[in-house]
Structure 1
Amino acid sequence: MGEKSQVRKHLKKELIFPNQKFATTDDLFTSIANKAKELGYVNDQFLTKIKKREAEFPTGLQLAEQGVAIPHTDADTIKKEFIAVVTNSNTQFHRMDDPSQAVTANAVFVLGLNQPHAQLQLLQSLMALFQDNEFLNQVEAAKTADEILKLFED
Structure 2
Amino acid sequence: MLTLGGNNMYVEEDLIFYDQPLRDQDQIFDFMADELERKKYVTSGFREAIKEREQKFPTGLKLDGMNIAIVHTEAEYAKTEKLVIIKLKNPATFHNIETLEPIDVSLVFGLILSDSEKHLEVLKKLGTLLQNQKIIKDIKNVKSQSELFTIMKHYFN
Q: TM-score, normalised by structure 1?
A: 0.90
Residue 99 of structure 2 aligns with an amino acid whose one-letter code is D
In the alignment, which residue of structure 2 is the partner of 1:66? 66
Contact 1:88/1:140, CA 8 A, preserved across alignment: no
Q: How far apart are residue 146 of structure 1 and its match?
A: 2.7
Q: TM-score, normalised by structure 2?
A: 0.88
State the distance in 2 between where 1:14 and 1:20 align. 13
Cα distance per residue 1:71-118 (max 9 Å; x no partner): 00011111122110011351111011011x012111111000011221
Contact 2:65/2:137, CA 8 A, preserved across alignment: no
In the alignment, which residue of structure 2 is the partner of 1:94? 95
What percent of counterpart residues are identical? Answer: 26
Contact 2:82/2:113, CA 8 A, preserved across alignment: yes
Name the SS for the 1:18 alignment partner: strand
Gaps of at least 5 residues in structure 1 are: none
In the alignment, which residue of structure 1 is the partner of 2:25? 25
The number of equivalent residue pairs is 151
Gaps of at least 5 residues in structure 2 are: none
Contact 2:65/2:136, CA 8 A, preserved across alignment: no
More strand by share: 2
Name the SS for the 2:65 alignment partner: coil
Question: In angstroms, what is the RMSD of aligned CA positions?
Answer: 1.8
State the distance in 2 between where 1:98 and 1:22 align. 24
The equivalences for 1:1-154 within 5 A come to 2-3=1-2, 5-6=3-4, 9-89=9-89, 90-99=91-100, 101-152=101-152, 153=154
Q: How far apart are residue 60 of structure 1 and its match?
A: 0.4
Name the SS for the 2:4 alignment partner: helix
Name the SS for the 1:27 alignment partner: helix
State the distance in 1 between where 2:37 and 2:141 align. 28
Cα distance per residue 1:121-141 (max 9 Å; x no partner): 110011111111221222233
